[in-house]
Structure 1
Amino acid sequence: MKIIDISVPLNETLPVFPGDPPLVLAQQGGAFAVSSLSLASHSGTHLDLPGHLGLDGPSVVDLPLEQMIGPCQVWDLSEHRGPIDEALLARRPEPVGPKVLLRTGNSRLWQEKTFCADYQALTADGAAWLISRGVRLIGIDYLSIEAPSGDGTVHRLLLEAGLIILEGLDLRGVSAGSYELICLPLKLASCDGAPCRAVLRSL
């Protein structure tokens, strides 16, 4: 059995989405080493929940963990350049389960120390296609599933349909195929999302 960590390390060199507060990690002095941590709920590998757009929905505390654990598919789109639209997704095999992770060229952007706006993102028709195929969790390998120029339409389509959005994955070491996803968010009393640790286990 192989376990692959697909989370990004939380440190002060981690890029953040424009407008989000930076991550600050500081060591406190004293007899025992204690670090203080300040970060946005959408730092690094994280979930988006309906409250992110002001929609009604579960908080992180109320989230059924069954939605975060179980079989998933990784689709390798890393050779594609440009938006992730319906036409591209329709060339993939039909989803065999409710969890899909998109491995794109974005994973290379984690090597950069500043935010890169030129990342691959899902389009509205791509989101609608995923919804129509019964996907309930969609993951992508950068800080947002929607283009930085987007107005929230892609997020809204997915979240209103009940999908969980898993952003900020590092899929550089992952091949296309079937895995078990184990993703546990911090148990924050938050309705917009939370950082999480995500791993894949080979089936």
Structure 2
Amino acid sequence: MNSSKPVHPRQRRIWDISAPVRVGTPVFPGDTEYAQEWNATISPNCPVNVATITLSPHVGSHADAPLHYDPNGATIGDVPLEAYIGPCRVIHAIGCGPLIQWEHIAHAVADLPERVLVRTYRNMPVDRWDPELTAYAPQTIERLADLGVKLIGIDSASIDPAPSKTLDSHQVIRRRDMRVLENLVLDEVEEGDYELIALPLKLVTADASPLRAILRACS
């Protein structure tokens, strides 16, 4: 009788890069804040707690759908999922200023995978709105697309400057058929290559979706 225990593959480290979502989580000025109330609570006459939540799909870490910046774009529930899972590179551009220019990431663009996340904060402000958030320069996104990148992400609330009305970087995403993640928390993530898993909910009429986004160490 063989009494040896089964051999399990070595577990890979996971980094949770999702922003916490709760009452008080910052939102883009004018957007719907997170709210929660209890419809049922555990008591002698009720076996469960059941909550109702109200929120913008852009609260916390989220994926924008093409519908967010294109009136004829796909909803997040109709976007194919392939871009949201797979090899990914995290690049640091901490304190680079208002826009991520090519020179801020050029040191780490050799042999890029199809997914790139850029860390701009030393500590991402999960408890306050930052009107001076760092965004992507549109030309940087164009060059990433030329290298085969299909998804970009950032630890700030938008890939465009907060006051922008033209959303130039979002329009590059639209034209190049790319995907975008915003409000990631990359504080504990070193530069390098990982596996990204950041699946949006199947919200079939929505312009975005919250995420539980993780990075996993490469095997």
In the superposition, the TM-score normalised over structure 2's length comes to 0.85
Q: Which moved more, 1:53-62 or 1:114-123?
A: 53-62
- Asked whether the 8 Å contact 2:69–2:171 carries over to 1, the reply is yes
Does residue 146 in structure 1 map to residue 157 in structure 2?
A: no
Match of 2:130 in 1: 116
Is the CA contact 2:133–2:157 (under 8 Å) kept in the aligned structure 1?
no
Consecutive unaligned residues of structure 1, counting only runs of 5 or more, are none
CA contact under 8 A between 2:124 and 2:156: conserved in structure 1? no
CA distance in 2, matches of 1:140, 1:178: 15
Cα separation, 2, equivalents of 1:87 and 1:14: 32
Q: For residue 142 of structure 2, what is the amino acid of its counterpart? A: A
Does the 8 Å contact 1:106/1:142 carry over to 2? no
User: Are the equivalent residues in 1 in contact too, given 2:64–2:76 (CA < 8 A)?
Assistant: no
Q: Is the 8 A contact 1:58 1:191 kept in 2?
A: no
Describe the shift of the 1:191–1:36 C-alpha distance in structure 2 as closer, same or farther (beyond 3 A).
closer
Q: Given the superposition, is the C-alpha separation of residues 148 and 176 from structure 1 closer, same or farther in structure 2, using an over 3 Å criterion?
A: same
Equivalent residues in 2 for 1:169-184, closer than 5 Å: 169-184=184-199
Unaligned runs of 5+ in 2: 1-11
Structure 1 residue identity aligned to 2:160: E
Structure number with greater Rg is 2
What secondary structure, in the 3-state scheme, does the structure 1 residue paired with 2:124 have? Answer: helix
Alignment-mate amino acid for residue 83 of structure 2:
Q
Q: Tell me how large the CA RMSD over aligned residues is.
A: 1.7
Which portions of structure 1, spanning 4 or more consecutive aligned residues, are displaced by more than 4 angstroms? none
Q: Is 1:14 aligned to residue 14 of structure 2?
A: no
Q: Which digits, 9 at most, give the CA deviation of each residue in 1:106-147, with x for residues without a partner?
A: 64322xx33111111111222222222221100000211111
Distance verdict in 2 for CA 1:95–1:23, change over 3 Å: farther
Query: Which amino acid in structure 1 is aligned with residue 205 of structure 2?
Result: S
Range that drifts further, 29-38 or 5-14 = 29-38
| 1:83-126 deviation line (CA, Å, top 9, x unaligned) | 2112323343335211000111164322xx33111111111222
Q: Which residue of 2 aligns with 1:101?
A: 117
Classify the secondary structure of the residue corresponding to 2:145. Answer: helix
Q: Does 1:3 align with 2:18?
A: no
Query: Match of 1:153, as an amino acid?
Result: D
Could you tell me which amino acid in structure 2 is paired with residue 13 of structure 1?
A: G
Question: How many pairs are equivalent?
Answer: 201
1:47 aligns with 2:63: yes
Point out which structure has higher relative CO (alpha carbons under 8 A, 6+ apart). Answer: 1
- Normalising by structure 1, report the TM-score: 0.91
User: 2:91 aligns to what SS in structure 1?
Assistant: strand
Q: 1:107 to 1:134 in 2, by over 3 A?
A: farther
Contact 2:151 2:179 in 1 (8 A): yes
Aligned AA (1:169): L
Letter of the 2:153 partner, please give it: G
| In the alignment, structure 1 residue 61 sits paired with structure 2 residue 77 | yes
